[in-house]
């Protein structure tokens, strides 16, 4: 079973991103920073936040769903805000997307906010709301149930250090996962955590029996060359002892985002 986690950066590197997702052949895709604008007339929208202005793919969720037609898609927005479609305002949702191969069964779900709450009338002030989505799956090929969860961690303007908000987020995340996961079954948690490797977040998650693969396997960089800031850790993949890791990689090429994909194969 193959699980891929990636912050898709709103589809900024659109063509290589779609090519990579189409050929990665993962059973479960856990994607962060996914936009969806059903009513857009254009392929690209303009996002403005103070002095920041950038182009963002209008309906990336729909485009990914089309290329992953053998997967069931689940979209979990954190907010709905206004972007510009040329000179015309256009509403776009933004959040998590999970795609699960249709030969596996979803036998349970847990979805909730781990920071803030849904913002239906704008993206809101920083730090913005964050959610997490967990799935209990039945893998018929391996004849087992397991839980796969993802989230996009809180971004604070003063960096990735531990804060009371991040401590609350970690507790909320552990509670959400713990309510779905069953003792003795496999558990995977992945995503863009937005914390450093020494964060207390990992102590909290360790109570679920989770161990991070990025840091324990010697990887020191989860960002690509288009990310020019210091602090090269952002993305993590955690597993428990009920799973046998066959391979794990932080994919350097192709570059499809400002984050590198994390790719796990479990036996």
Residue 29: closest CA among 104, 92, 130: 104
Q: What is the mean pLDDT of residues 171-181?
A: 98
Tokens of 16: 């290589």
Q: pLDDT digits over 107-129, tens only?
A: 999 999 999 999 999 998 889 99
What are the chain's domains? 2-266 (3.60.10.10)
- Kindly state the percentage of the chain with pLDDT values over 90: 94
User: From edge to edge, which strands make up the β-sheet containing 28-36?
Assistant: 52-57, 44-49, 71-85, 88-101, 28-36, 2-7, 262-266, 245-250
Q: pLDDT digits over 162-175, tens only?
A: 999 999 999 999 99
Q: pLDDT digits over 252-266, tens only?
A: 999 999 999 999 999
Tokens of 236: 């993590």
Q: What is the mean pLDDT of residues 41-58?
A: 92
Q: For residue 157, is pLDDT > 90?
A: no
User: From edge to edge, which strands make up the β-sheet containing 130-139?
Assistant: 105-115, 130-139, 144-152, 186-192, 235-239, 211-212
Residue 217 half-sphere exposure toward CB, CA atoms < 13 A:
18
Cis, peptide link before residue 244, omega less than 30° from 0:
no
- The pLDDT of residue 100 is 99
- The pLDDT of residue 52 is 86
pTM (predicted TM-score): 0.98
Q: What is the mean pLDDT of residues 226-238?
A: 95
Determine the Cα–Cα distance for residues 125 and 129; give it in Å rounded to an integer. Answer: 9
Residues 35, 94 contacting (CB under 8 angstroms) = yes
Q: For residue 43, is pLDDT > 90?
A: yes
Q: What is the mean pLDDT of residues 72-99?
A: 97
């Amino acid at each position: 079973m193959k699980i891929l986690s990636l912050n898709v950066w709103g589809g900024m590197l659109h063509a290589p991103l779609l090519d990579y997702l189409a050929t990665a052949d993962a059973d479960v895709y856990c994607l962060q920073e996914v936009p969806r604008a059903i009513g857009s007339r254009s392929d690209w929208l303009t996002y403005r936040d103070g002095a920041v202005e950038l182009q963002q793919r209008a309906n990336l969720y729909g485009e990914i769903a089309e290329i992953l037609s053998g997967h069931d898609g689940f979209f979990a927005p954190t907010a709905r805000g206004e972007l510009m479609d040329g000179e015309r305002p256009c509403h776009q949702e933004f959040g998590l997307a999970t795609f699960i191969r249709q030969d596996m069964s979803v036998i349970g779900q847990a979805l909730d906010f781990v920071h803030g709450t849904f913002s239906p009338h704008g993206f809101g002030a920083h730090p913005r709301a964050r959610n997490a989505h967990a799935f209990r799956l039945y893998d018929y090929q391996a004849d087992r149930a397991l839980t796969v969860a993802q989230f996009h961690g809180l971004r604070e303007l003063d960096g990735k250090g531990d804060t009371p908000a991040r401590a609350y987020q970690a507790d909320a995340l552990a509670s959400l996962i713990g309510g779905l996961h069953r003792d003795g079954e496999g558990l995977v948690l992945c995503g863009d955590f937005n914390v450093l490797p020494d964060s207390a977040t990992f102590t909290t998650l360790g109570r679920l029996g989770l161990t991070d693969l990025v840091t324990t396997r010697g990887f020191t960089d989860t960002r690509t060359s288009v990310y020019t800031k210091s602090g090269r850790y952002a993305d993590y993949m955690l597993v428990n002892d009920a799973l046998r890791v066959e391979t794990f990689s932080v994919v350097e090429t192709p570059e499809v985002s400002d984050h590198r994909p994390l790719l796990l194969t479990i036996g």
